Structure 1
Amino acid sequence: MDLKQLPDNPYVLLTPGPLSTTKSVKATMLRDWCTWDNDYNAIVQDIRARLVKLAHGGDEYTAVLMQGSGTFSVESTIGSALPREGGKLLVVANGHYGDRIGVIAERLAIPATVLQLGEMGRPTPADIEKALDADPAITHVAVVHCETTTGMLNPVEAIGKVVKERGKVYIVDAMSSFGGIPIDIKALGADFLISSANKCIQGVPGFGFVIARRSELEKCGGNARSLSLDLHHQWREMEYKNGKWRFTSPTHVVRAFAQAMNELDEEGGVEARHARYSANHDALVAGMRALGYECLLPDDFQSPIITSFMNPAAPAYEFKKFYDELKGHGWVVYPGKVTGADTFRIGNIGDVSPQDIAELLKAVAASMYWE
């Protein structure tokens, strides 16, 4: 169809996902697909292979898709990777999403220790060494790569070196980074790497995925605490039945994701997308600072995915009113999630360019009603 016939969005989403997608991604959802059809299952198999390739996994790794939001895939991994007996999880937490992994372990009755660093704390290899040496019962370590609570980028490769030196299983939540930041899963030492369709690959919400070391995934049989979130069973179904899902799959979302992957290739791959996101971030930070806004994080902790800014100290300022003003100009930003600071967040990912950021900054200036 002529993409010009599709209506424009009333505003641009400057969020960490769902995010603004291209019209061509949205247009692919206008066709219906059958979950049992060979044409559809071939798309699933192609996506799985391409995800492993994006992660530089090679034959040592495989990919499995899981219905639901990204958190479903995180819970599926935690609940399937940890054995029912003799396993213990170390959660490295410096924000809401690290904390959520701890909650998942608690709900699933999985023994766990949460290394709580605070929202402004950044883990170091020494922190991990100390935690592992203090508790030999720990078998698995989980960490968030880009903690979107603040926008902090955690040093997952350095952490991975410590984890693998001690023979532990390494789980990386790369929800908000995979596809937008170059990742070599072998260099990370990651056994499980988790992300979602509606993040940096720029698809729409509906499923997540796990890129897993085959040898570790094969050990997960019988571990799952849930039927629907049994990662090992889902993988076996896809692996041995040519891309078939166990239960009804989000067919439209899968097809949109395949198109989004094509567009990632057309852009020049992850390196090119990372360059665009970084340019967005640099332009955003420079422009916001020129308008008097202060970043929450030091520059060397900051990811190019989402940026936290301090709310203005002006007595008349209210985030909700500022948000509505910006939305009226065609831009949607994110409220803050930090408990110890008064912040809001602006995402740099999605179908957004530095030119769009320039227009956003004009809207920010026009929306500063308290001045």
Structure 2
Amino acid sequence: MKNPYLLLTPGPLSTSESVREAMRKDWCTWDHEYLLLVQKIRQHLVNLATHQRSEYTSVLMQGSGTFTVESVIGSVIPREYSKLLIATNGAYGNRIIQMAEILGIQTVISRTKENEPTNLYEIEKFLQADPAITHVAVVHCETTTGILNPVEDVCKLAKAYNKNTIVDAMSSFGGIELDVHEWKIDFLISSANKCIQGVPGFGFVIAKTEELEKCEGISHSLSLDLYDQWKTMEDSNGKWRFTSPTHVVRAFYQALIELEEEGGVTARNKRYRENQTILVEGMRECGFTPFVLQEYQSPIITSFLHPNDDFEFNAFYQHLKEEGFVIYPGKVSEVLTFRIGTIGEVDKYDIRRLIQSIKKIKDKQGETEK
């Protein structure tokens, strides 16, 4: 069945017909064939994340990406004798702060403006001033704006001070090339319904095995115990502790196959970047200005400023939906913005059609004003 519109969002996003088709079969969570599928996915994720595969493992976790982030924050940082340095420049960094507060974890906050990347100089000042810091957390692509943070530099700096590193790569993994070993990442977090182009239902963690092994007994949550989930998958050949989203898992496996067929992360990144370049050029022609400088911009999602005080996002959104496109409202706290994603089963021809639709909407508005 053809979708009535294209999702130009950071996830859930538009998926291929074959990914959706993969969900039509029912699976038993205990069945050997299904458990083998889970194990294949876990190894495939490690293969995508690093060339140093023997040192890393992966864990799948039920729920949204936020569930998986919280499973890491709550499972790898002991409440006693620990302190978490959080770099934030948007809603998702702020969400990690909120998690840490609820979990009773001490924090130090490095906060930059929403259209500016994480400040390495400030990170180092915190690390020098506070030896009690044990962990550093940073968001790779902050989807509040689409800004790309210098995660590799942050993690290498943290390791120079012997800290554990946690990276929220929710909106970047699978769409931007990285290597967790080379970048010195201990725990990388992402989700099924982002750049891998699966559907919502679970997140995953790619972890340095020796660091994950130290986490037994830390979690104060039963369902979000990352160590316990990993140990069960290791000891029971892919078994999840509680009911897994079987249809979503099968769709994700199909999405991994399609990522390979496209040419891997390098080819997907090229497509996303081409989408984003065409989008920005076209939006500028239509009178819209990006909130983030292009040098800091990811190819995942782009925030645009409202062009004037009379601009009504809801009306604009509805017009575009009628044209076959769904975009995202803004999440920036300082100024009025809206967002357009360039990931998923989307190519340059789709983006050009979007721009034509926006031009048509603006032409109609111009005629009405006359």
TM tier, smaller: over 0.9
Aligned ranges 1:1-371 → 2 under 5 Å:
7-56=1-50, 57-313=52-308, 315=310, 317-368=311-362, 369-371=364-366
Amino acid at match of 2:328: Y
Aligned partners of 2:288 and 2:30: how far apart in 1?
53
Shift of 1:314: 5.4
Distance 1:102 1:39 in 2: 40
How far apart are the structure 2 equivalents of 1:117 and 1:134? 18
Which stretches of structure 1, 4 residues or longer, exceed 3 Å deviation after superposition? none
Structure 1 position 160, deviation (Å): 1.0
Provide the rounded CA distance (Å) in 2 between the counterparts of 1:177 and 1:186. Answer: 17
Q: Could you tell me how far apart the structure 2 residues matched to 1:54 and 1:142 are?
A: 21
User: 8 Å contact 1:80–1:223 — kept in the other structure?
Assistant: yes
Shift of 1:364: 0.9
The TM-score with structure 1 as length reference comes to: 0.97
Q: Which runs of 5+ in 1 are unaligned?
A: 1-6
Alpha-carbon deviations, 1:254-291, whole Å to 9, x = none?
00000000000000000000000000001101111111
Cα distance between partner residues in 1 of 2:267 and 2:117: 27
Contact residue 64 and residue 200 of structure 2 kept, 8 A: yes
Secondary structure, counterpart of 1:164 in structure 2: helix
CA distance in 1 between partners of 2:164 and 2:125 (Å): 17
Post-superposition CA distance 1:278-331 (Å, at most 9, x none): 00001101111111111111110100000011112053x211000000000000
Please identify, of 121-130 and 69-78, the stretch whose mean Cα deviation from structure 2 is larger. Answer: 121-130
User: What is the number of residues matched between the two proteins?
Assistant: 364
8 A contact 1:314–1:370 mirrored in 2: no
* Letter matched to residue 67 of structure 1: Q
Return the letter of the residue paired with 1:122. P
Deviates more, 1:137-146 or 1:121-130: 121-130
State the shift of 1:155 in Å. Answer: 0.3
In 2, Cα distance between equivalents of 1:59 and 1:145:
24
* Sequence identity (%): 59
In 2, the alpha carbon distance for the partners of 1:77 and 1:318 equals: 39
Amino acid paired to 1:252: H
